Copies of this chain bind each other. A is one copy, B any other.
Amino acid sequence: MKTVPKSPAGLLRPGVRALHGYTPGEQPRVRGLIKLNTNENPYPPAPAVLRAIRKATDGGLRRYPNPTAQPLREKLAVEHGCAPENVFVGNGSDEVLAYLIRAFVEPVAAVGPRSRSRATVQYLWPCYSLYPVLSQIHGAHANPVALLPDFGLPTTAALRSGKKWDFKAALTFVTTPNAPSGRGYDTAELERLCQAQQGAVVLDEAYAEFADADARELAFRLPHVIVTRTFSKAYSLCAQRVGYCLAHPEVVVALDKLRDSYNVNGLGQVAALATLEHLAYYRRNFLRIRSTRERLRRELTGLGWRVLPSQANFLLAQPPGAPAQEWLGHLRDRKLLVRWFPAAEVSRYLRFTVGTDAEADALLKAARRGPRA
């Protein structure tokens, strides 16, 4: 009796077949291309970090890594002035974001339409474009609510009168500093938003190290607030996939139940631990990137670009004289890879990562003559 199907498509969950997946920024390896599209740090990891990784590259790789990344949790706790029980480490902060949804949000199919808040992933849009993808993967209800036109946070009064906002949403994401705009938010206004929410609030601080201030204290004061961080951007470790969150210990316990047994790779743990031993090197880089950022903003503005103020390691800017998408091709022809997002709120802008000063000079040179010049 042959029951084997010709294709496995009918066996896959219908919800999974309908997924689109996340589109990461391009990662071409083209010689001479200046890559300013995925907010990577232009400076390499500290030499001592590279040495630590090379030193750990030995027969020990045959062993499983520390399953909870415990030494890293302990060192992060010292750095943030909290307990190790407040720290959870993931395979990049993307993994942490996915676990947070699974910890707090029910799939719509599991609770039915009458309990929609319990199945709602809410976010202030535009933001990190992974949230809607993770929400869809989980089978949750996504509730995007617009930021102000200048990418500022709406007040709770405005959210209340706007009707669309759900104060009981199971989980609310806020990218702070915002991506893709770079806009920073005061901790006081973030706290007002958090205080008004009955569900969990995730403050995604992937770019906080480039900002004047951060809101991590909220994760220690408010039990329903979780702050996520990453070693990818500020600490030049995209390749090694280490991110974490700061949260109430009961949230950490829940995430530990959901995670893969050995979710953080061994050399990533080594690299992150060594990074925390050499923060002075990275802080110098933050200053350099901020300085390049401000120069780029000033000079582009002088060339007629409308550049938004940024607290991150990237700038969102509206080019003059031609649509952004046309500029995208123009810059690509000049070996400058930047990012354009099709979403209506941002489609007239280009986003470019703040690179080295030499990369900024190359960008400025290409920015002087537009695609129609």
Question: Which B residue's beta carbon lies closest to that of A50?
Answer: B57
Interface flag for A276 (CB, 8 Å): no
Interface flag for A12 (CB, 8 Å): yes
Asked whether B224 lies within 8 Å of A5 as measured between CB atoms, the reply is: yes
Interface flag for A209 (CB, 8 Å): no
Contact status of A237 and B62, CB under 8 A, knowing A8-B224, A254-B17: yes
List A5-30 residues whose CB lies under 8 Å from chain B: 5-9, 11-13, 16-17, 19-22, 24-25, 27
Asked whether B19 lies within 8 Å of A40 as measured between CB atoms, the reply is: no
Residues of chain B lying within 8 A (CB to CB) of residue A194: 4
**Which applies to chain A's interface (DSSP): helix, strand, loop or mixed?**
loop
Interface flag for A83 (CB, 8 Å): no
Residues of chain B lying within 8 A (CB to CB) of residue A41: 62
Contact among B2, B5, B16, B248 for A254, CB-based, below 8 A: B16
Residues of chain B lying within 8 A (CB to CB) of residue A94: 260-262
Interface flag for A267 (CB, 8 Å): yes
Residues of chain B lying within 8 A (CB to CB) of residue A57: 50, 53-54, 57
Asked whether A20 lies within 8 Å of B257 as measured between CB atoms, the reply is: yes
Contact among B11, B95, B237, B241 for A199, CB-based, below 8 A: B11
Asked whether A12 lies within 8 Å of B104 as measured between CB atoms, the reply is: yes
List A110-134 residues whose CB lies under 8 Å from chain B: 110-111, 130
- How far does the Cβ of A247 sit from chain B's closest Cβ, in whole Å? 8
Asked whether B224 lies within 8 Å of A263 as measured between CB atoms, the reply is: no
Asked whether B44 lies within 8 Å of A105 as measured between CB atoms, the reply is: no
Asked whether A50 lies within 8 Å of B40 as measured between CB atoms, the reply is: no
Contact status of A265 and B248, CB under 8 A, knowing A16-B254, A67-B27, A224-B11: no
- How far does the Cβ of A358 sit from chain B's closest Cβ, in whole Å? 15
Residues of chain B lying within 8 A (CB to CB) of residue A34: none
Question: Which B residue's beta carbon lies closest to that of A42?
Answer: B62
Q: Mark A228-245, 1 if CB is under 8 A from B, else 0.
A: 000010001111110000
Interface flag for A63 (CB, 8 Å): yes
Question: Which B residue's beta carbon lies closest to that of A242?
Answer: B265
Q: Mark A320-335, 1 if CB is under 8 A from B, else 0.
A: 0000000000000000
CA distance A196 to B12 in the complex (A): 18
Asked whether A250 lies within 8 Å of B62 as measured between CB atoms, the reply is: no
CA distance A323 to B20 in the complex (A): 54
Interface flag for A197 (CB, 8 Å): yes
- How far does the Cβ of A127 sit from chain B's closest Cβ, in whole Å? 15
Asked whether A40 lies within 8 Å of B64 as measured between CB atoms, the reply is: yes
Interface flag for A174 (CB, 8 Å): no
Listed in ascending order, the chain A residues whose CB lies under 8 Å from chain B are 1-9, 11-13, 16-17, 19-22, 24-25, 27, 35, 38, 40-45, 50, 53-54, 57-67, 91-92, 94-95, 98, 102-107, 109-111, 130, 137, 139, 167, 170, 194-200, 222-224, 232, 236-241, 247-248, 250-251, 254, 256-258, 260-263, 265-268, 271
Q: Using A4-B222, A61-B239, A238-B262 as known contacts, list a sample of 18 further A-B pairs with CB atoms less than 8 Å apart, ordered by residue number in A.
A: A5-B198, A5-B224, A8-B250, A13-B105, A16-B257, A17-B254, A19-B254, A38-B64, A44-B62, A45-B59, A64-B232, A65-B238, A65-B241, A92-B260, A92-B262, A102-B137, A239-B265, A241-B265
